[in-house]
Amino acid sequence: MSSISRRSIVSLAGGAAVAVALRPSRSLAQDAGPVRIGLIIPLTGATSQFGTSMAAAAKIAADEINEAGGVHGRKIEILIEDDQSNPEAAVRAAHKLIDVDKVVSIGGSYASAVTSAIAPLCWESGTVLLTSSGADSIMKLPHHGYIFRTSPTVTLQGTRVGEFAVELGGKNMFFLGPQTPFAQSYIDIISSIFTKAGGKGAGLIYEDKKTSYRSEVDQALRANPDTIVLGGYVPDTAVVLKDLYRAGYTAKRIGFSFGVNPAILPAVAGDVGEGTYSLVPSASEKSEAYKNLIGKLNRPSLDSYSCQVFDHVALTALALANAAPDVVNGTIVRDNIRAISQDPQGAAVDLVPAALKSIAAKQTVNYDGPSGPLDFAENGDVKGVFFRYEQIQQGKLALIKVA
């Protein structure tokens, strides 16, 4: 069975200064014993709605690998750290995983601010970072191939929301969201789509963690929008929806999966959230990999982000299995991920034990997991993604379409 641990870490201060001070100066390799894979996931804080299922999915991946004999006979050990939805906490966690545990990769990494903070630690230590963050700026960092993104980019998500809003008849869009690495990008992308369709768009970036956004809502409503795009996480999006309701706004509201998801439903019961749409990166729901994962978790469905974390563990293990057993480090993972996930001559496989068996038999494989196709562009962005379009109807999220 897999070994999963969660550690508490002594608090430090200093933000970016901490990141610089903690950067390791050498490439790290694991000695004998279990192959250690790190996860930095939000178990607490504003983005914690997926943390528990992320951890559970990672455990399933590790169990499957270990029950199949591990990697070159070595078991997989998953080490989980809580980023607390906070970049400074994430930096402390990454430092611990890299310098002390000497993990070969770090997966999870959900919030874009968290990923941006820990990315330098990873590429400078030669540790692969597998991320579920969307901010385009992340892949523009000089990461030397050590970052792989399994989630759709902000540009793609913003484009889909803008196109969907226009499809719904929107002419005048206003974006409301907190300061994040992607907020201004969303305003620019969605406004451009509205402008090209003959409409217009604007936006306002607000301060996070406020108990009321009524002044921001009033400012937005002075623009007479027929579409409000919600760019925040669950806590602030819930407050904005309540303030929109109190202000009498009844036109279209569209959010993203990080803000409009099942976790928000209790806070926007009744008419408060009714009719709000959400764009949701979708898992590969028709694949055997997805069916296998939800079956083992005993769940009817699972979010894409947790499926991605399963694949973060699987990709690391398969990449190491594809290489000689002499050295186990992040560079080996980096150099072998594409070989096991996008070889056009490889046998299509979506179950990890089968992929390990084929690799052991010196056969090439093309692994696609529960999160979907895992072909990566030169910059590390995943190429194949799916989206679900959902709407709050009678207190529940109902599927509108998949595209």
Based on the domain organization, do 224 and 93 belong to the same domain? no
DSSP H or E segment with residue 353: helix 352-360
Predicted TM-score (pTM) of this structure: 0.86
Query: Do residues 272 and 318 share a domain?
Result: no
Write the CATH number for 235.
3.40.50.2300
> Is the same domain home to 199 and 255?
yes
Q: Are residues 253 and 394 in the same domain?
A: yes
Residue 379 maps to a domain: no
Q: Is 155 helix (H, G, I), strand (E, B) or coil?
A: helix
Q: 262 lies in a domain? A: yes
Q: Exposed, middle or buried: residue 296 (CB in 10 Å: 0-12, 13-18, 19+)?
A: middle
Token pair listed for 197? 């369709």
**Burial profile 86-97: b = 16 or more Cβ within 10 angstroms, e = fewer:** bbbbbbbbbbbb
Considering the domain boundaries, does residue 372 fall inside one? Answer: no
Considering only CA atoms, which of 177, 278, 293, 173 is closest in space to residue 223? 173
268 and 218 fall within a common domain? yes
Which range marks the domain in which residue 196 is found? Answer: 154-281+386-402
User: Concatenated DSSP letters for 319-338?
Assistant: HHHTS-TT--BHHHHHHHHH
Digit-by-digit pLDDT tens for the chain (403 residues) are 444 544 433 232 333 333 333 343 344 556 678 999 999 999 999 899 999 999 999 999 999 999 999 999 999 999 999 999 999 999 999 999 999 999 999 999 999 999 999 999 999 999 999 999 999 999 999 999 999 999 999 999 999 999 999 999 999 999 999 999 899 999 999 999 999 999 999 999 999 889 999 999 999 999 999 999 999 999 999 999 999 999 999 999 999 999 999 999 999 999 999 999 999 999 999 999 999 999 999 999 999 999 999 999 999 999 999 999 988 999 999 999 999 999 999 999 999 999 999 999 999 999 999 999 999 999 999 997 889 999 999 999 999 998 8
Residue 131 sits in the same domain as residue 53 = yes
Count up the domains in the chain and report the number: 2
Tokens 């789509």, located at residue? 193
Question: Residue 308: is it exposed, middle or buried by C-beta count within 10 angstroms (0-12/13-18/19+)?
Answer: buried
